[in-house]
Structure 1
Amino acid sequence: MVETLDTKLGTMFWAYTSPGVDDIEEVARKCDKLHVHFLDMPHHIDCWGNNPMNNHEHWDRIFDTLKAHGIVPHVYFQSNNYRTFTDPETHAIWDSKQMQTIRQGIIDFINRYAIRNPEIWWGDWNEPNGSGWVDSKERYDYYVIQVWEQLSKWIHDEIRYRNPESIHTSANYLGAPNSSHFDNVNNTFFSEYQYRFALYDDVDYLTWHPYVDTYNGEAIPEELLKQGIVPAEYNPLQKQLIATEFGFARGGGTGLQGRTWTDDEAAKLMIREILILDMMNYKRICFFCLTGSGNWDSNPYGAFNDTGKTDNYTQVGLAIKDLMDQLAGYHFVQRYDLDDEHLFALQYQNEAGDNKLAYWSTNSAGTVETPFRDENQELNFTDYVQITDLSFEPIKCEFFLPIEADSSLGTRVKL
C-alpha cells in the first residue's frame, strides 16, 4: 500500500518534560492541525534515578492519548549529558553505577510497554555518534562504539523477546548518513561501523537526523540527494531510512549548522526538505520540532511557540500546515525531468487519481516553459514551494477528432 505524505509526516516532542505530561492532549491536537501521524519521543532516564517520568502513570496517559488521535509513537532512550570525560570502565560518560541505573530504567520501560502498546516503534539510543554517549573527541574510539552498539542490540533483543512483532529502528544518528563534517561527525565512518557490527540486521529501518549545514555545501535540503543516503555497500538490504530530526534554526548565531536563518528562510527550506525526503523514499519524516520559541534561550526550531491551548504558530508551523492542507491524502509519484538540476517539479496523486504539482527552484529561475497540461505552459519557479492542480486529461483536438459529416457509409472526421 502506498503511504501518503501525511502518513509519513512526524515531529519530535520532549514527552519527559513536565509540560509534555500536563499538555499531552494539546500536543495531540496540535499534531492533528499539522496532519502529523508520527511522534518521535525520547524516554529520558536520569542517571541518578531522579526522573519523574519513570512513573508509568505519565507514559500510560501519553500513549493512550496518542492512540486515541491515531498518532504512532516512536520511542528511544537517552540520559544526562553532564560531563565531558569518558569513564575508563564503561566507555561512556556515566560510571558503572549510573549505567546500571540507565539499564534498569530501560528494562522497566520495556517490561511495561512492549506488550501493552504494540503500536510503538522502538529505537534504541539518541545520537551516540554525537555527544549522546561520550564527548565528541572520543566518538571514534573502537571500544566506545562497541559498547553502545552492544547496548543497542540488547535493547532490541529485550523488546523482540517480549513482542516478536514489534517494529525496530536504529539509533538516532546525528547528521545525514553520507555527510562528513556536521558537528565534526564523519557519518560515512559510522555507516560503515553499523554495517561491520551487523546492527542493521537487528532493525527494520535506519534512523538519522539529516540536518544540512554549511560544512557540507550550501546548507539547502537539495544537498541531501547526495548526503541523505547510506552508501550501498553499507546497506546491502536497502533498508528504508527514517528522519527523526531536521530543521533550520532561527534566532541568530552560528549554531551547529554553521549558521541560522530568518523565519522566512527557515519556513521555505523546511517545506523543501519535507518534499525532498519524501521524494527519496524516507519511511518517516519527522521535523524538529513541535514546540519551542524562535530564540536560543529555549528552542529555535518549533512549529508552535508553546503547548498552550492557543494555536500560536511560528512561521515554520504555518508553512507546514499550508503544505499539508494541500497534500494530505496525496503520495509522491515522480519528479519530472526539466533538463535543469535546479528545477524541482514533483507529481503527487491521491486515491481518486487527482494530481497536484509541487514545484520550486534552488536558484529562483523565474518563468520556465513546462510540458504540463497545455503545451509549453509557463510556470514561475521561485525558491518557495508552490502547489497547483495537475490535469492529465487528453486534449480533445488531439485525441477526439471533430466530426466533419455523417453518412450512410459511416462517420468521417476532419484530419
Structure 2
Amino acid sequence: MFDLIIRRARLPDETLTDIAVSAGKIAAIGNVSGEAKDERDLGGRWYLSAGWIDSHVHCYAKSPIYHDQPDNIGVAQGVTTVVDAGSTGADDVDDFYQITRSAATQVYALLNISRTGLVVQHELADMSDIDKVGVRDAVQRLPGFILGIKARMSSSVVGQNGIKPLVRAKEIQREIGGLPLMVHIGNNPPDLDEIADLLTSGDIITHCYNGKPNRILTPGGELRAAVKSAIQRGVRLDVGHGSASFSFEVARVAIAQGILPDSISSDIYCRNRISGPVYGLAHVMSKFFNVGMTLTQIVDCVTRNAAEGLRLADKGRLEVGADADFTIFTLSEESRPLVDADGISETGAKHFTPLAAVVAGKWVMTDEGKANHVFDL
C-alpha cells in the first residue's frame, strides 16, 4: 500500500498522470493501480510539478539586515525547498541550522565567505573576516546542509578590496572540494569582466538581469565577452530578483538572444516579501512570461535546473526514486501589474498561483490555497 496517490495531476506539458508516494519518495508514475493511505484527485484541473526550489533567499531570522521565517517564503508560497544565500557565515551557521530543523520547508545554506555573514552590509571590506579554516570546518560539520559558498562582489560590500575577496573565495572553494560558488554582482568596482574571468564551471552568477551599469549586457545590448566566455565554461546564471536586481529590459533583451537563466530565484526577505517588488517566488516566475519564456522553461528553472546547479540529486525531478516534493498550482490569465526592481511597471497577462506544497509526501496548503478554498486537502 502506498502512503499517497495523487490522481489526474496536470503536468506543465499538459499531460495527465497519477503519482504514488512511499516513504517520502516517488514510487510510481503513470496509470497507478493500488491503494494508498491518502488519495487526492486533482481532476486534471490543477498543475503539478516537482517541488519548487528557491535557490536564493534570506531566512535566518536573527540576521539584523535581511531576514525572514523559512515557512513564510517556503511552503506558505508553494516552495518546498529554499537555499539561504549567505545570510550566515562560519560564526552563526550552526545556529541557523538548528532553528531551521523545525520548519516544514526544507532549508539549505550557501555559506558566506565572511565569518560574520550579513551582520553588516560591507562584510567583505575586512579581509581578515574571510576565514578559510572557519569555512572548511563549517562545511565538514554540516555537509548535508551547506551546499556551497557565497561571495557578494559589489563596491558597497568589498570596500577597497576590489577583486581580492573573490580570489580568496576561489581558493576556499578548491579547499572544500569544489562546492558551488554563488557570486553576487552589483555596482562596481570590481568590474563584472574581472569577476567573470575568475569563474569556472558550476559557479553561479546571481542578479544576472540587474539593470545597473555593471550588468551582463554592453551599452549596445550585446552580451559582454567575458560573460559569454564564462557561460561557455559552464558558469550558470541565477536571477536573484531582490529589491534592486531585476530589470525587465535587461532580461527581455538577453532572453531574446537566447541568454536564458539557469535558475529563477527571488532573493526574498521580509521587507520585499511584504512591500514588494518580490512578494514571492510565484510572483517572480510570472514576470518571465513577459520577457519571452514559456511555462515549461520557467518551471524547469525552479525545479530541475535549480537542483542541478546546487547538486540536490534527489530533487527537481518527477521520476521514480526522487524525493516526493511537489508544487500544485494554477495559471490565471488576467491583467495584473508587475513591477521590476527599477520601478518599471508592466502588465502581466499570465500568473502563477501556488495552491499546495507537498514535502516528502506531506501536504501543506499555501496561503492562497487556504484563502480561496480552492480544494479540500
TM-score between the two structures when normalised by the length of structure 2: 0.50
Q: Does 1:189 align with 2:234?
A: no
1:106 CA displacement = 1.9
- The answer for the alignment partner of 2:126 in structure 1 is 94
- The answer for the alignment partner of 1:247 in structure 2 is 242
Q: 1:316 aligns with which of 271, 277, 292?
A: 277
What is the distance in 1 between the residues matched to 2:141 and 2:281? 35
1:122 CA displacement = 0.3
Aligned amino acid, residue 114 of structure 2? Q
Aligned amino acid, residue 348 of structure 1? L
Q: 1:232 aligns with which of 224, 228, 233?
A: 228
Aligned amino acid, residue 54 of structure 2? L
- The answer for the alignment partner of 1:212 in structure 2 is 210
Q: How many residues align?
A: 260
Question: What is the identity percentage for the equivalent residue pairs of Structure 1 and Structure 2?
Answer: 11
- The answer for the alignment partner of 1:108 in structure 2 is 137
1:387 CA displacement = 1.3
Aligned amino acid, residue 347 of structure 2? Y
What is the distance in 1 between the residues matched to 2:50 and 2:348? 15
Alignment of 1:367-378 (within 5 A): none
Q: 2:106 aligns with which of 50, 70, 87?
A: 70
How far does the alpha carbon of each residue in 1:236-271 deviate from its partner, in whole angstroms, 9 at most, with x for none? 33332223x33345xxxxxxx8xxxxxxxx9x969x
What are structure 1's unaligned runs of at least 5 residues?
A: 85-91, 140-144, 161-166, 176-181, 250-256, 258-265, 293-301, 305-313, 336-342, 363-381, 390-415
Q: Does 1:17 align with 2:76?
A: no
> Which structure carries more strand by proportion?
2
| Compared CA separation, residues 318 and 38, structure 1 to 2 (3 A) | closer
| Compared CA separation, residues 230 and 71, structure 1 to 2 (3 A) | farther
How far does the alpha carbon of each residue in 1:152-196 deviate from its partner, in whole angstroms, 9 at most, with x for none? 233223332xxxxxx832242323xxxxxx34552123212x1xx
What is the distance in 1 between the residues matched to 2:89 and 2:351? 47
1:291 CA displacement = 0.9
| Compared CA separation, residues 170 and 388, structure 1 to 2 (3 A) | closer
What is the distance in 1 between the residues matched to 2:113 and 2:231? 24
| Compared CA separation, residues 44 and 346, structure 1 to 2 (3 A) | closer
Task: Flag the structure with more relative contact order, 1 or 2, with Cα contacts below 8 A and sequence separation at least 6.
Answer: 2
Q: CA RMSD in A?
A: 5.3
Aligned amino acid, residue 60 of structure 1? Y
Alignment of 1:127-138 (within 5 A): 127=153, 129-135=154-160
What is the distance in 2 between the residues matched to 1:174 and 1:132? 10
2:243 touches 2:278 (CA, 8 Å); kept in 1? no
Q: Does 1:348 align with 2:295?
A: yes
| Compared CA separation, residues 228 and 356, structure 1 to 2 (3 A) | farther
| Compared CA separation, residues 229 and 75, structure 1 to 2 (3 A) | farther
What is the distance in 2 between the residues matched to 1:237 and 1:60? 33
1:11 CA displacement = 4.0
What are structure 2's unaligned runs of at least 5 residues?
A: 1-11, 14-48, 300-317, 319-328, 338-344, 353-377
Secondary structure of the 2:193 match is helix
TM-score between the two structures when normalised by the length of structure 1: 0.46
Secondary structure of the 1:156 match is helix
Q: Does 1:7 align with 2:33?
A: no
| Compared CA separation, residues 229 and 11, structure 1 to 2 (3 A) | farther
Aligned amino acid, residue 246 of structure 1? H
Aligned amino acid, residue 94 of structure 1? D
What is the distance in 2 between the residues matched to 1:124 and 1:200? 14
1:40 touches 1:286 (CA, 8 Å); kept in 2? no
Q: 1:156 aligns with which of 147, 156, 173?
A: 173
Q: Does 1:283 align with 2:230?
A: no
Secondary structure of the 1:152 match is helix
1:214 CA displacement = 5.8
How far does the alpha carbon of each residue in 1:372-408 deviate from its partner, in whole angstroms, 9 at most, with x for none? xxxxxxxxxx92211189xxxxxxxxxxxxxxxxxxx
Secondary structure of the 1:385 match is strand
- The answer for the alignment partner of 2:41 in structure 1 is none
Aligned amino acid, residue 241 of structure 1? L
What is the distance in 2 between the residues matched to 1:82 and 1:15? 14
